[in-house]
Amino acid sequence: MSDRSVIPVSVVGGFLGAGKTTLLNRLLQENEGRRLGVIVNDFGDINIDENLIVTRDEDMVSLANGCICCSIGNDFLRALISLVTRPDPPEHIVIEASGVADPLRIAAIARADKALRLQGIFVLVDATQYQTQAADPLLVDTVRAQVGAADLLLLTKTDIAKDDQTQAVGELLERERPGVLRIETTTTDVPVSLLFGFSADLRTPSTTPHDPHALFWTGSIACDKACDVEQLTAVLEDCAGLLRCKGIVRSAGGGGQIVQWTAGRLELSSLEVAPAEAALVYIGVGAAPAGFERSIQQCFE
Amino acid sequence: MTTTIFSAKRIITMNPSRPFATHVAVRDGRVLSVGTLKEVSAWGDANVDDRFSDQVVMPGLIEGHSHLVEGALWDHTYVGYYDRTAPDGRVWPGLKSVDAVVERLQEASAAQDDPDAALIGWGFDPIFFGEQRMHARDLDRVSNGRCIGVFHASLHFLNVNSAVIEDSDLAASTDMQEVMTDARGAPTGELAGMVGMYLAMKSLKFDLGSQATHPPALWNFAKVCQLAGVTTATDLHSPLDDEMVGRLTGETDKADFPLRIVSAFGGTLMPADKGTARIGSLVSKSTDKHKMGIVKLVLDGSIQGFTARLKWPGHFNGAPNGLWYIAPDEFKKTVLAYNAAGHQLHIHTNGDEATELALDAIEEALATNPHPDHRHTLQHCQMASDAQFRRMAAMGVGVNLFSNHVYYWGDQHYELTLGPDRAHRIDNAGSAVEHGVDLALHSDAPITAIGPLFTAWCAVNRVTSTGKHLGGDAERLTVEEALHTITMGGAISLKLDHEIGSIEVGKLADFAVLNEDPFEVDPMALKDVDVWGTVVGGEVFEAPQV
């Protein structure tokens, strides 16, 4: 069981103009109920609806949806520590890496602190610019390092890129990071649940459909029988591409359990009273693995 | 209106029309007259002050590239390899082994009342300890309970004890390049980069940046400068928020504060449109002893950290090229914006690729918004080629070289980072003079100790810490040239040459008072010239006798 006080950290990297701010704007507004702490390079580009703002000072804005947005101000580390050590720390921290930063070096901080857990590094690549950047002797090592750090590559601005451009950049990225999940997008249509549910361990076949929503498979199961949680854990762990699974199940000795599977970890909370209705829902990327539903069903015997 | 005439064994004025004198008259904090007693007495009644009759007086020395964090560090325990003078004048001997470092930390730990407070060491430099690295168990000998962190001289590395390791998740993160491991794969406690700085800030509650402008740190800084004969020093990258400006103005305004501070605004701490507005609003808040108006930009990292941007053939040991701290296009836009707003830029470039980009950016900015006396200055600029100096001269760009590198890292540059060819041309002050580029020299304190006479010695002798000579005679400065760079050179690079840098009528009465004549000693002894103290705006500040 994971410690609830450990805060997952996502790092959003990519060169200037790749669309990091657009993505962060969306995360702040489509937070899916999570109290996010978002650290940005500068407020100037963040476009927060004034009606949402509860309080604001020079380096921090609190939103009505529970999210906090901090600007790096003078010192990124100070901004991060002030978020982590708040009496009410955010449930999830998202860090915008600067346009020239190697996101891996920022992610290293999350890995070094027990209070944090690296959830994933998302690197945005501008489909209209990447070929030029990768051919520029002053930039090639910077953008390559960024791509090299990615757990998930978001190929952005495909709506304004020429078709052959998107394809060429896709091939370039495939050569640099074979097997790393890559999504073609315009930045505004990346499913937020994909980012939050994403696990850094996730590796899927490098298929890149043009409609990111077609990437998902979903399913559900309703079952009144008791659940073998150990077996369920094993099934979930074995399932490549599983993003989230949640629901309530009944226990063999009476009572029940709330099941939360996020980012490669299972969290369980016991219920004294058996639930009236027991069900699980799940969502994953790629193609649904063969036999997954049957394996899940076998956990309820 | 009181006039004081100081007599001296000799006054080195740095004013070519009157290079030497014996008396200087001071009125209202400024130089009224320089010459013989008879000449300076012609202005009327004056008190004659003979306390410098055995001393040599020269213009107050100028440190054109330092950082106020030097002052904050002196609240902690110095554990460096070289001797270093504390603000109280005490010389802390350099420590030549890990055991000696542990021993000094044990003393500091015993003297620290709060058993739970973290203990911080700084200035650690294992470069001469061979293969031996400091391990967490070494620091565990200092104290069982408290968290301990020891910063390396570069401030980019940190050693911590087991208490900090246990407080962190390092044991599970040994695959990261930031975490050094021992033969068994366990973390040794040596950390690099932001991971080290993060844990220092979180576990050790150590926040150097915010401490630097607190009054105790400002006084520490001023006293370290005073002991080195420095009367004007820079804080060459500052957020300059209202609170900081208030503290800086408040402390420096005090009559007994022995230093003028020039703060450079960190030009990329906010977008250029806001930054130009911010620095524009600060200029009028400058005071006699705290000046604002110049802007600092950082383009790449450091050579010894393998983070500088190098041109072909890159690092001698094959390490990949370094890092841009700001994207090249963004940098050009930033230079354009500050240049258009009329602010003088001080641009950190270490590698020659960064220097080339900086020169391109300045050239484009000046073509758009010409300024006849912009004095944009490249800071460090350690690998500049002849062709780059020629471009600087053509554009009126100045340079402030990091001459202390020749001594402290020259051997490393020769063997590891740059190889013999480029190590020989490191911080080539002779070329700068040859091309007529305005030249200053610096310590980058706290990276190396503030001491312009030592810095001048480096430029004159170009000898490494193991005794190797780098570059031919052409790259060496004469003693006269070197003394010019640490006085007038610094003043010119800060656009303060109308106020400081020489002892001549109308300028501020800022002097370095020396117990020996730097022109009389062997050039190899220039660094050992003893400093009596300073005079700032006519106020006398004797260095504490230890």
CA angle B146–B149–B150, rounded 5-degree value: 140
Structural domain includes residue B56:
no
pLDDT at A204 over 50: no
Per-residue pLDDT at B188:
96
- Split at pLDDT 50, 70, 90, the class of A188 is low
B159 token code pair: 């050693």
- Specify the pTM: 0.89
- Split at pLDDT 50, 70, 90, the class of A1 is very low
From chain B residues 309-348, the ones with a CB under 8 A of any chain A CB are: 320-321, 323-330
Q: Which residues of A touch B270 (CB under 8 A)?
A: 42
Specify the 3-state DSSP secondary structure of B431. helix
Amino acid letter, residue B47:
N
Residue in chain B closest to A58 (alpha carbons) equals B241
Region of A121 (left: φ > 0; alpha: ψ -120 to 50; beta: rest) is beta
| Closest to B513 in 3D by CA, of B7, B4, B160 | B7
Alpha-carbon distance of B300 to B317, in angstroms, equals 19
Structural domain includes residue B339:
yes
- Pair (B401, B326) in one structural domain: yes
pLDDT at A224 over 80: yes
- For chain B, the domain total comes to 2
Mean pLDDT calculated for residue range B422-428: 97
Per-residue pLDDT at A203:
39
- Pair (B279, B358) in one structural domain: yes
Element (H, E) at B160: strand B157-160
Residue in chain B closest to A40 (alpha carbons) equals B270
SS (H, E, C) B489-524: HHHHHCCCCCCCCCCCCCCECCEEEECCCCCCCCHH
Per the CB < 8 A criterion, the answer to whether B401 and B459 are in contact is yes
Mean pLDDT calculated for residue range A185-192: 73
- Pair (B197, B332) in one structural domain: no
Q: What is the extent of the structural domain holding B472?
A: 269-501
B155 token code pair: 């401030």
**Contact with chain A for residue B209, Cβ under 8 A:** yes
CB contact under 8 A, B330 and A111: no
CATH number for the domain including B457? Answer: 3.20.20.140
- Pair (B318, B434) in one structural domain: yes
CATH number for the domain including B87? Answer: 3.10.310.70
Residue with tokens 């990437």: A215
pLDDT at B282 over 80: yes
From chain A residues 144-173, the ones with a CB under 8 A of any chain B CB are: none
Instruction: Using DSSP bridges, classify how beta strands B30-35 and A265-271 pair: parallel, antiparallel or unpaired.
Output: unpaired
B161 token code pair: 């004890």
pLDDT in tens, B428-441: 999 999 999 999 99
- Pair (B169, B285) in one structural domain: no
**Contact with chain B for residue A6, Cβ under 8 A:** no
- Split at pLDDT 50, 70, 90, the class of A222 is confident
Q: Which residues of A touch B306 (CB under 8 A)?
A: none
CA angle B519–B439–B342, rounded 5-degree value: 140
What residue ranges of chain A are covered by domains with CATH 3.40.50.300? 7-210
Q: Bigger pLDDT: B47 or A295? A: B47
Amino acid letter, residue A248:
I
Q: Which CATH number fits domain A216-297: 3.30.300.30, 3.30.1220.10, 3.50.50.60, 3.90.226.10?
A: 3.30.1220.10
pLDDT in tens, B187-210: 999 999 999 999 999 999 999 888
Alpha-carbon distance of B55 to B51, in angstroms, equals 8
Per-residue pLDDT at A214:
54
Specify the 3-state DSSP secondary structure of A59. coil
- Pair (B453, B331) in one structural domain: yes
- Split at pLDDT 50, 70, 90, the class of A210 is very low
Q: Residue A99: which of B179, B269, B327 has the nearest Cβ?
A: B327
pLDDT in tens, A23-65: 998 889 888 888 999 999 888 777 777 888 899 888 899 999 9
Q: Give the length of chain B.
A: 546
Alpha-carbon distance of B227 to B530, in angstroms, equals 9
- Pair (B285, B420) in one structural domain: yes
- Pair (B327, B464) in one structural domain: yes
Q: What are phi and psi of A292, to 5 degrees?
A: -65, -45
What residue ranges of chain A are covered by domains with CATH 3.30.1220.10? 216-297
Buried b (16+ CB within 10 A) or exposed e, B23-42: bbbbbeebbbbbbeeeebbe
Residue in chain A closest to B193 (alpha carbons) equals A105
| Closest to B425 in 3D by CA, of B392, B383, B478 | B383
Which homologous superfamily is A7-210 in? P-loop containing nucleotide triphosphate hydrolases (3.40.50.300)
